[in-house]
């Protein structure tokens, strides 16, 4: 749905995840946003985020990414939580010719506490609008938002469709820049590079969620195992679903 996309000068993939079915309600508009990197925001972009009331930014990138492409937030005044998700640098997955499934398996296996921490930030945000982002807004952001939405009771098909939308919003120039940066870091080409950098197929998230459910029973149980409390899950549902 094109009205989810928030067109800014400095982002490609900023979207509102409001309006998704969740039990007898739906997710609140202007509460949770997902995005690619915020390093190229213009003054007009910052004014737009301020007008939307964005008060918390959850940055899922690692220290190296943030140092190379620091967010430009100007006078926004939002609180920023640095919450890196990858326990293993993404460049190592590319060098190992990993698939998207391999990447997601590693995150679920080794970064459960990091995923849970990001979801907890959303749960404890009250009524303030929240923006979650990484570099492309595809994998780390996709997993965190998917877990948060599912734990809040959002319809599974809607969650998977939201994840898959990303592919339509990532232009070649952004993805080419990411590939060029990896080349500069002497990361070798690989068979699976295009999938890792450019694609967000529904089947990838479907497989990952099925693995979580088989191993843990539910997304909520996975999050609780990694430190999210029952009260925080209830608050997550309250803040996300109207």
Residue 66 tokens read as 């943030």
Only one residue has tokens 């900023």, namely 14
Q: Euclidean distance between the first and final Cα of the chain, in Å?
A: 20
Rounded to an integer, the average pLDDT of 136-151 is: 97
R_g of the chain, CA atoms, integer Å? 17
- Ranking 1-5, 22-26, 28-32, 231-235 by mean pLDDT, the lowest is 1-5
Distance in angstroms (rounded) separating the CA atoms of residues 216 and 205: 16
Domains of the chain (ranges plus CATH)?
2-240 (3.90.190.10)
CA distance to 44, 49, 184, per residue, from 53 (Å): 14, 6, 37
The answer, yes or no, to whether residue 176 has pLDDT greater than 90, is no
Give the pLDDT band of residue 188 (cuts 50, 70, 90).
low
What's the pLDDT at 185? 66
Amino acid 62: pLDDT? 93
User: What average pLDDT does range 40-68 have in this prediction?
Assistant: 96
Bridge pairing between strands 15-16 and 32-35: antiparallel
Residue 2 has pLDDT above 80, yes or no: no
Q: Which residues lie closer than 8 Å to 27 by C-beta, 6 or more apart?
A: 17, 18, 19, 20, 149, 152, 154, 240, 241, 242
* pLDDT digits 0-9 by tens, 105-129: 999 999 999 999 999 999 999 999 9
Cα gap 123→141, rounded to integer Å: 16
The pTM of the whole model exceeds 0.85:
yes
Percentage of the residues of the chain whose pLDDT score is greater than 90: 76
Q: Which spans in 24-124 are helix H?
A: 43-51, 63-68, 90-95, 100-110, 112-123
Q: Can you tell me which residue has the tokens 């997993």?
A: 143
């Amino acid at each position: 749905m094109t009205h989810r996309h928030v067109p800014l000068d400095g982002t490609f993939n900023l979207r509102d995840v409001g309006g998704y079915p969740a039990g007898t309600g739906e997710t609140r508009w202007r509460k949770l946003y997902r995005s690619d990197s915020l390093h190229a925001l213009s003054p007009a972009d910052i004014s737009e985020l301020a007008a939307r009331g964005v008060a918390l930014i959850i940055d899922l990138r690692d220290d190296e990414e943030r140092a190379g492409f620091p967010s430009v937030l100007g006078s926004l005044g939002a609180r920023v939580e640095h919450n890196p998700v990858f326990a293993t640098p993404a460049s190592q997955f590319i060098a190992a010719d990993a698939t998207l499934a391999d990447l997601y398996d590693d995150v679920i296996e080794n970064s459960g506490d990091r995923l849970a921490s990001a979801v907890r930030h959303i749960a404890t945000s009250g009524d303030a609008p929240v923006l979650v982002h990484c570099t492309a807004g595809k994998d780390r952001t996709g997993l965190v938002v998917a877990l948060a939405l599912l734990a809040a009771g959002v319809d599974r098909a809607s969650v998977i469709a939201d994840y898959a939308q990303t592919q339509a919003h990532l232009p070649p120039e952004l993805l080419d820049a990411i590939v060029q940066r990896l080349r500069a870091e002497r990361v070798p080409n690989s068979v699976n590079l295009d999938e890792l950098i450019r694609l967000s197929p529904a089947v990838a998230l479907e497989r990952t969620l099925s693995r979580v459910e088989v191993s843990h029973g539910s997304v909520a149980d996975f999050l609780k195992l990694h430190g999210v409390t029952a009260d925080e899950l209830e608050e997550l549902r309250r803040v996300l679903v109207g």
